[in-house]
Structure 1
Amino acid sequence: MKGSLAVLMLFACVFLMSLIANLIIGASAIHWQDVIGALFLFDPDSYDHFVVLYQRLPRALIAILAGSVLACGGLVLQGITRNPLASPSTLGINAGATLFVVAGAYSFDLGVKAQGAAALVGGTFGFLSCFVVARLAGLSRSPHSLALILSGALVSMLFIGLANAILLSDPARRTEFLGWITGNINHVYAERLYDFWWIGALALLCLLMSARPLTLITLGQEKAASAGVNVVWVSRIALVAVMLGSASAVAICGPVGFVGLVVPHIVRPLIGSRFEVSLPASAMMGASVCLLADLVARKAFDPYVLHTGLIMDLMGGLVFALIVKRYYLKSSSGREA
């Protein structure tokens, strides 16, 4: 327990340093005293205060919400499905939410709030589509449920392709959604954050409240049931929370990929599989990863600013290949030997 507490404190320190760096570093560095002044003693005549409060702080808050929700969602999905490759980006949730937002805006001219509702429906539809395709492909015959991930990849590519096709047919919408569809943490989405943050917060709260029964379920459904856990309902509630929380993050800043895949593999070796501690650890680490990725996106090619999703895809793609090699290729070579 002391070791877990120490690791949690370490993650908290990484999170705080990432947040401070995100507020201080930018096109021009702002002194930490000016950052504090902007947060607590805002001066409307100060350009630095304006930049901190209306540009850097909204970006940081979006990164914190998206990173924590997606990371916790990936942790829970990997635990429930017992699949190390499961995450909102690999099981169709992000892609489904993206397609429904773009299609709703194109077909029905949905406003920001209605787009959020479309994202929630789309995330659920994408997740269910992934399981339907996996079942039709013979999920039970696939070792380690590999068919589930392949189905998720197929569904995600199809939905993202359809969303891009819709945008290509409408130049006006393409300009509006070009940054969003690649996953972009940007202060211009502050209104979306204001409208949808509470969905992600409720999803995180629901997962934290379900942490103990989820831990028992990962130890075995029979053991969990003998301890008084309603396995079916707890699993369903957790999955709904993951779908709605992840879809709300997509509604805010687009599909920021691979956070939910990468972060659990960073957290579990250091803190273990107990959701009581791994969930808050994943939330802090996911927020830190998004904050740092956003910082890299802003400074790597200064004065040009990249989309945060591009940085996450680059990092996540490398980690994805390593995870596949560790959990699937090595196990296959071991069975052949």
Structure 2
Amino acid sequence: MKILSINEWLLSFMPAGAASITEMVLIALIYLTVFAVLGLYLVLLERKVAAWFQLRLGPNRVGYKGMFQTLADALKLVSKELTGTVKADKFLYNLAPYFVIITALMALSVFPFTENLQAFDINIGLFFLIAISSIGVIGILLGGWGSNNKFALIGAMRSGVQTISYELSVGLSLLTMVILTGSLQLSEIIEVQKNGWLIVQGHIPAMIAFMIYMISGTAETNRAPFDMVEAESELGAGYHTEYSGMKFAYFFLAEFINMFIIAAIATTVFFGGWLSPFGITESIPFMGIFWFLAKTFVLVFLMMWFRWTFPRLRVDQLLTLEWKYLLPINLVNLVLMAVIVWLNITIQF
């Protein structure tokens, strides 16, 4: 029995143009559903991990062992009144959350979850991810400015400084791996890793690039110990102080999705994406998704470990770490990787 693809099935009873539009709508709905479910699960995971580190139970009332706690919180946020300040710039205030949420959703579209499961495979995939992730900070700046609140504005300005600074290290660490692979296309980067993960093929420079990437990625998502943007003891809730209901939920959800995106990029570039370390991905259906998500969630757990282990940095410490240490190390590491590629020194499994 021949199994038809979705495209073939749609073309069997509708014109090509209508089939194409229907496919786009279906893919968009699937990604929106994944976006919402993934965000809710990551919030629950964060709470459980925090509870584990602090030797307490965490959410344990709503549903089996608190499984539906975040769903209950989401329903509460949906039903809450949307409030705002009288002197806020209404257009910018309302526009800001959509900048943050849409950029996160667009970034998800280019990840190859398996060899045949990728919504948008372009030859500049890695560049697209870096560019899209840079746009998200515009939403934070608009939210802080449009709220007409001094604490929100301070938080937004901190976010601008922090994100722009650490984007350099994120970009350079990924560029180091692009030199090794010779491609920006995510599917090709994974294809190169069939002979071994890039973190192994690239020797010590690849390991240094990975460590810098994880530190910088954590900082770019404004998570502890780099959460100067939302320093509760100083700024209340930072740039989203004046937001409530679903608009607050958009900011909150985007932070967790961005954490997943940072981990997914690391999985794709350094750890072989959907490839199995045991060479069984191709023979067992859905194993590609399993390996991709397993590697990604290990890195997500690592980022949560950072949060519940290290104290918050001061602003001067945060910028000193980037400009005096990470950036110079990254530049030297980039040259080392170029030398390794030039000498054709590689390690294979």
* TM-score, length-scaled by structure 2: 0.31
Higher helix share: 1
- Higher RCO (CA 8 Å, separation ≥ 6 residues): 1
